[in-house]
Chains A and B, each alone.
Chain A
Amino acid sequence: MTGPVAAILPGQRLHLQHGPIDLVIGADGDRDAAFAAATDRFQTVLEELVQELPLLRRPVGDAPAGLVAQRMHAACIPQAEGVTFVTPMAAVAGSVADEVLAAMVAAAPLTRAYVNNGGDIALYLGPGARFEIGLAGLDGIGLGRACVDADMAVRGVATSGAGGRSLSLGIADSVTVLAANAAAADVAATLIAGAVDLADHPEIRRVPASDVQDDSDLGDRPVVRAVGLLTPDEVARALAAGVAAARQMRQRGLIVGAALMLRGQARVVGDIAPRAVHDKQEEGILAHA
C-alpha cells in the first residue's frame, strides 16, 4: 500500500497525492511554512475518511467524527433539507481542499493561497487580494474568467459534470459554482450538474451506478453513461432545469453564483455573471443562451 506523496511542481506549486486525492497547492507569503503545514495535515486525511466511509456513503444523517467528514456533513445538511438525495461524499473533494487550506492559513502568514482538488478549489484571500479563475470547457477552450476579490463572500469554487471522475445523475458538460467555501461549492455543483437533465430521453443512456463503481454512494441510482444528439431546444430545457436548482440554492444563500454549460450553450446564475465572462467572445456564447 502506498502512502501520501508530496512533490513540488514547476511554478512553486505543491502536489500532494494519496490514493484518489490529488491536490495542487499555491501560496503567496510564507510559502515554505504553508506547504509544510499542508503536507503535514495531508498525511492522515485519506485514512480519516476511510475510517468513516460507510457512514459518509449513506444519505446525510448522523454527524461524523472526522474533521474533513464534518465539513462534508455541514455542507450537505442544508442541501438535504430540500427533496434532494445527497450523501456527504458529494462534498468530499471540496472538504479536503478546505481542510488543507485551513491548516496552511493557521500555520503561516499568507496574502493569498489556494488548494485545488481536481477542480474543487478552496481559496484564501488576504485584504485586497484577488484571484482570477479561468473557466475552460472539456475541450480546453477558455470560457472566460471569474474574478474573486477579498470583499466577495466567495472562498470556494467547484466544477462538476461529464468531464469529472465522479458519476453524474445529469447530463451537464460542466457546472461551475462559487460559494462560501469549497465544500459548499462542491456539493452545489454536483447537485446542479445532476439537475441539468431531460427525463426519459431516448438519447440518454443510463446504468445503475453500482454497475460502474461497486462502491458508489449512489447505489443503484441511474447514472448517465452516454448522451446522443440533442436539439438546441432540448439543451435549453435541460439547462433550465439546472438553472432552477441553482436559483433556489442562491435564494437560500447556499451559493453565490453558478455557470452551467451544455453542448455550446451556457447559463449564468447570480454573481458569477458580470465578472465572470467579460470578453466579447464570451458574451457571444452567453448571447446564445
Chain B
Amino acid sequence: MPDDTPRRPKPEKIRCDACPVMCYIADGKAGACDRYANHGGELVRLDPLTVIQSGARAVAFLHDDAQAQDWDGDVIQGDRTFVTAVGAGTTYPDYKPAPFIVSQDVEGVDMVTVVTEGIFSYCGVKVKIDTDRHIGHERAVVRVDGEAIGHVMTSEYGSKMLSLGGVEHLTGGSKKEGRVTCDALLRLCNRDAVEMQIDGGATLVVQAGKPPVINGAPEKLMRVGCGSATIGMFAKQWEGHVDEVIVVDDHITGVLTEHEAGKQLGMRPSGIRINGRRSTPGRYFQVAEPGTGWGGTDVDDPLTVLRPADPKNAWPGLRLLMVSTTGEQWAFFTLDEELQPQPADITPPLLKTCERIAENCEPSLCSVLFMGGAGGSLRAGVTENPVRLTHSVKDALTYVSCGGAEAYVWPGGGITFMADVMDMPTNSFGYVPTPALVAPIEFTLRAEDYAALGGHTEHVQPVDSVLNPEIRKVLPQGGPDPHTRQHHRWSHSRKGRK
C-alpha cells in the first residue's frame, strides 16, 4: 500500500559515470551496483578508507591483533592517526585535487598528507625467494597460466630473485598476457598465493610472508652459508669426531681437510675426491647440476658427487660426514678395505653438528616488494606543478609512503618507489581493466612546503573531518611513522646535520 505521506521534494541527484549504466543516484543512496553512492552530492566509493592508528600502541589490550580490529574507541588518539590511501579512491585521469588532503598537527608542526590511490601501468613486483634450490636460470621466463609475467633475475645470498610485471607485460603483450599479469600482481600484492612456472625450471607457489613451495615441496630453511663458509663455521666442532666432511652446495662445495680451516687445525689430507671444478683448495664449483636436492644441487644420493678415493692418502676406516648447507640432509660413511664408503651409524656429537647447522638457518620466506612509478596525472592531484613534487621528494621535504608503509624512492628522475606489501594493510591493492594496478600512495610534508610547491591548499581539511565510524582501523605494521620528522630534511638541519 503506498505511503500516504505527502511527497517531499526530491533531493538533488547526481549522475554516476563509473559505468555505462550512468545511474542517477539520490543523496544517501547507492547506484545499481552498490559500489558507488551519492554522499551529500558527491559520488563516493563504498570501499572503506583505511587509517593507521599508532597512538594506541601503548594501550595493553591492543597488542593483540584480533582484539585491535574490534576496538571501537577514539580513532584520532592524539596526533598519531595516519590516513592511508587504501580505499581513498582516485581522481585519475585528470587534474582534480587528490581525494584526501588532510592536515594534522604533529609535534607542533602543521603537516599535510596528500592521499590518493594511484593507477599504475608502470608497476610490478620484485620477489625474493629464500632458497638455494634451482628454480630456473637467470633470464628464464616466469609464467602463470602459460602467459609470460616476468623473469628470473639474479641469485642473491641464499635467495633467488624474480622480476614480475612491468609495463611490457601489462600492456605490451597480448590482451591475455596483460590480464594474467595484472591478476598475478594483484594477488601477490594482496598477499595471496600465486602458482607460477619457470621455463626450464621449477613450479613455484609464491606468497608474501610465507615459505616458497618449489615443485610441490615447501621450503623450510635458508642455508647457513655456502659450503665453504659452513666448513669455516663448524670445522672446530668437527675436529676429532670425523676424518673428512663434505658440505654439499650448488654454489661452493666445501671439503674440510683440504680447506684452509681444516689445514689450520692440522687435519690429515683424507684422499676423498669430489666432482666439480676446484676454485681454491677445499672449495669446488659445480659438483652436480642445479636442482632441488642437497644444497640446491640435483643430488639425492650424496655418493654421486664422490670420485674414487686417492689410495695414497685414504685409509680403511676413514670417517666421512656429508651434509647439506641447511643441515636438512646428512649421511655418515666409513671406508671399507677397498676404500669404498659404506653407510655407518652417525655418532651423537656429529649428529649434533648437523642439527646445529639447521638451527642456524633462518626460515625461508617469499618477500614481495611492490614497485611503481607515480606518473604525471597522479602528481597533478597533489600539485598544479607536478615536477615540483618530484623535486620535493628528492629534496627530502616530502615523504612518500605506500598504504602507510615505508617506500624506498629511487634516485634519478620521477617518483619510482618500492614498498614491502607485508608492511601495508591487507587488501591494499585493486586493479582496473587497463590493465593496471591500483595502489595507495601518500605524500606527507609540512603545510608551508605544500603551499610552496603549488599544492591544492584550498582543499586541505583537518584529519578528523575525514574520520567516521565506517573507517577501517589498522595497527601500524612495524615500519616508521610517515609523520616522523626524521624523514624530512628540515628536521635534520634543525639539529645541525646536513
Complex Cα distance A214/B28, Å? Answer: 13
Does B242 lie at the interface of the complex (its beta carbon under 8 Å from any beta carbon of A)? no
With A20-B32, A205-B3, A222-B2 as contacts: A7 and B183 at CB distance below 8 Å: yes
| Shortest beta-carbon distance from A89 to chain B in Å | 11
| Shortest beta-carbon distance from B96 to chain A in Å | 15
Complex Cα distance A62/B10, Å? Answer: 32
| Shortest beta-carbon distance from A212 to chain B in Å | 7
- B20–A6 CB distance below 8 A: no
- B19–A18 CB distance below 8 A: yes
- Give the interface residue-count category, chain B: 20 to 34
- A214–B19 CB distance below 8 A: no
| Shortest beta-carbon distance from B302 to chain A in Å | 40
- A207–B29 CB distance below 8 A: no
Q: Mark B413-442, 1 if CB is under 8 A from A, else 0.
A: 000000000000000000111000000000
- A50–B22 CB distance below 8 A: yes
- A1–B34 CB distance below 8 A: no
Complex Cα distance A207/B5, Å? Answer: 10
* Residues in chain A near residue B3, CB distance under 8 A: 205-208, 222
Does A19 lie at the interface of the complex (its beta carbon under 8 Å from any beta carbon of B)? yes
* Residues in chain A near residue B179, CB distance under 8 A: 6
- A165–B32 CB distance below 8 A: yes
Does B306 lie at the interface of the complex (its beta carbon under 8 Å from any beta carbon of A)? no
Does A215 lie at the interface of the complex (its beta carbon under 8 Å from any beta carbon of B)? yes
- B29–A50 CB distance below 8 A: no
Complex Cα distance A20/B21, Å? Answer: 8
Q: Mark A1-22, 1 if CB is under 8 A from B, else 0.
A: 1111111100000000011100
* Residues in chain A near residue B2, CB distance under 8 A: 206-208, 222
- A214–B18 CB distance below 8 A: no
- B433–A215 CB distance below 8 A: no
Does A139 lie at the interface of the complex (its beta carbon under 8 Å from any beta carbon of B)? no
- A50–B13 CB distance below 8 A: no
* Residues in chain A near residue B176, CB distance under 8 A: 36
Does A63 lie at the interface of the complex (its beta carbon under 8 Å from any beta carbon of B)? no
Does B31 lie at the interface of the complex (its beta carbon under 8 Å from any beta carbon of A)? yes
With A200-B1, A213-B29 as contacts: A2 and B433 at CB distance below 8 Å: yes
Q: Which residues of chain B (157-179) have a CB below 8 Å from chain A?
A: 176, 179
Q: Which residues of chain B (10-60) have a CB below 8 Å from chain A?
A: 10, 13, 17-26, 29, 31-34
Q: Which of A2, A205, A207 contacts B432 (CB 8 A)?
A: A2
| Shortest beta-carbon distance from A93 to chain B in Å | 11
Q: Name the residue among B18, B23, B32 with the largest chain A CB count within 10 angstroms.
A: B32
* Residues in chain B near residue A5, CB distance under 8 A: 431-433
* Residues in chain A near residue B25, CB distance under 8 A: 214
* Residues in chain B near residue A212, CB distance under 8 A: 29
* Residues in chain A near residue B22, CB distance under 8 A: 50
Complex Cα distance A193/B297, Å? Answer: 66
With A20-B32, A50-B21, A213-B29 as contacts: A3 and B1 at CB distance below 8 Å: no
Does A46 lie at the interface of the complex (its beta carbon under 8 Å from any beta carbon of B)? yes
Chain A positions near chain B (C-beta within 8 angstroms) = 1-8, 18-20, 32, 36, 46-47, 50, 53, 165, 199-201, 204-208, 211-215, 222
| Shortest Cβ-Cβ A-B pairs, 5 listed | A19-B19, A20-B32, A20-B33, A222-B2, A214-B24
Known A32-B145, A213-B29; 17 more pairs at CB < 8 Å = A2-B18, A2-B432, A18-B20, A19-B18, A20-B21, A20-B34, A199-B1, A204-B1, A205-B3, A206-B2, A207-B3, A212-B29, A214-B10, A214-B25, A214-B26, A222-B1, A222-B3
User: Mind listing 21 A-B residue pairs with CB under 8 Å?
Assistant: A1-B18, A1-B20, A2-B433, A4-B433, A5-B433, A6-B179, A18-B20, A19-B18, A20-B19, A20-B33, A46-B19, A50-B20, A50-B21, A165-B32, A165-B34, A199-B1, A207-B2, A213-B32, A214-B25, A215-B23, A222-B2
